[in-house]
Amino acid sequence: MGDGTYDATLDAGWCVGPVINGGYLLTAGVRALSQDLGPKGFPDPVSVSGHFLSGARPGAVTTHVDVLRTGQALAFASAKVCQASTERLRITAAMGDLATMEGEARTLAKPPVLPPPDRCFGNEDTPDDVLKQIPMLQQFDLRMDPATTGFAIGRPTGRGRIQGWLRLPDDIPLSTLILPLAADVLPPATLDLGIPGWSRTVEMTVQIRQVPEPGWLRVVHAARLVAHGYVEEDAEVWDSADRLVAQSRQLARLAPTRGAK
């Protein structure tokens, strides 16, 4: 390529309702950023902010990459993710090479405690009408912690927390590039607050902190503040080596409610 324009296809299987999942779209843009900046020594997204301008549909997508600044450890770039002449997503990112970055490391974060995958709820427990509405749920192996799935039987805990094991399909190899996707595919944590429906991402920022080790990921979503019909949702992605590999925060618009106040 080299002209800063990268083509991809958005698979209809990654829809939530009629619209492509935000994390999947973000990952499409991040791939383009990595294609552009990888050969220059900055293959990994380190900090990625996306504002979702309009809902993407399945089909062709083109990402235009604009390198803003190349520094010693990080390169900054902007990316427009477009379908035909409509921009779907504007990304700004800091890219780097996590495998070679050195420096201070310490953490207070604790990995989530989950029952083993075979004692969690998988897709086989998801009702058919939900799978039809959220085709995305059939794309990956998700095992949800029974302690956070009370919403499915009308008993949300009120803690605003959803967590589970996640394994992406074989054609999406585990790398830093897919962590924005991993951070956005669990059901919204608002379900555990008793707020129905899947919210729509307005803005999502993902910090990628480590190259993930192979194996199951663990993903935790937490929602603490709903205001004006918008929710802030934080996600953590942990790898099989018990490292917090990605942290994300998004602002999302709640699904419209029947008889809204």
Give the footprint of its own copies on residues 221-260 (CB under 8 A): 223-230, 232, 244, 247, 249, 251, 253-254, 257, 260
At position 106, the amino acid (one-letter code) is: R
Amino acid identity at 105: A
Interface with its own copies includes 84 (CB under 8 A)? no
Closest distance between its own copies and the C-beta of residue 102, in Å? 7
Q: How far apart are CA 126 and CA 144, in angstroms?
A: 11
Q: Chain centroid to CA 210: how far?
A: 16
Interface residue with its own copies, options 78, 138, 157, 240 (CB under 8 A): 78
Among 159, 167, 168, 240, binds its own copies (CB under 8 A): 159
Q: What angle do CA 261, 17, 254 make, to 5 degrees?
A: 30
Q: What backbone phi and psi angles, to 5 degrees, belong to 81?
A: -105, 115
Q: Please identify which residue in 84, 108, 113, 153 interacts with its own copies, judged by CB under 8 A.
A: 108
State yes or no: residue 60 binds its own copies (CB under 8 A).
no
Token pair 């399945």 is at which residue?
58
Least distance between its own copies and beta carbon 6 (Å): 20
CA distance 26 to 28: 5
Q: Please say which residue, 8 or 251, places its beta carbon nearer to its own copies.
A: 251
| Whole-angstrom distance, CA of residue 36 vs CA of residue 93 | 12
Among 46, 162, 186, 217, binds its own copies (CB under 8 A): 46
Q: 93, 120, 144, 185: which one contacts its own copies (CB under 8 A)?
A: 93
Tokens linked to 65: 């990459």
Question: What would the two tokens of residue 164 be?
Answer: 């589970």
Q: How many of the chain's residues bind its own copies (CB under 8 A)?
A: 55
Least Å distance, CB 190 to its own copies, is 9
Euclidean distance between CA atoms 79 and 141, whole angstroms? 30
Q: What is the contact mask toward its own copies in residues 160 to 199, using x (rule: CB under 8 A)?
A: x--------------------------------x-x----
Name the residue among 153, 164, 229, 237 with its Cα closest to residue 191. Answer: 153
Nearer to its own copies, 143 or 209 (CB): 209
CB closer to its own copies out of 160 and 164: 160
Q: β-pairing, 244-253 with 200-208?
A: antiparallel
- Quick check: 147 binds its own copies (CB under 8 A)? no
Please state, in angstroms and rounded to a whole number, the distance separating the CA atoms of residues 17 and 10. Answer: 14
Of the residues 102, 118, 170, 171, which one makes contact with its own copies according to CB under 8 A: 102
Biggest alpha carbon–alpha carbon distance for the chain: 54
Query: 177 in helix, strand or coil?
Result: helix
Residues that bind its own copies (CB under 8 A): 46-47, 49, 51, 53-54, 68-69, 73-74, 76, 78, 87, 90, 92-94, 98, 101-109, 159-160, 193, 195, 202-203, 205, 207, 209-210, 223-230, 232, 244, 247, 249, 251, 253-254, 257, 260-261
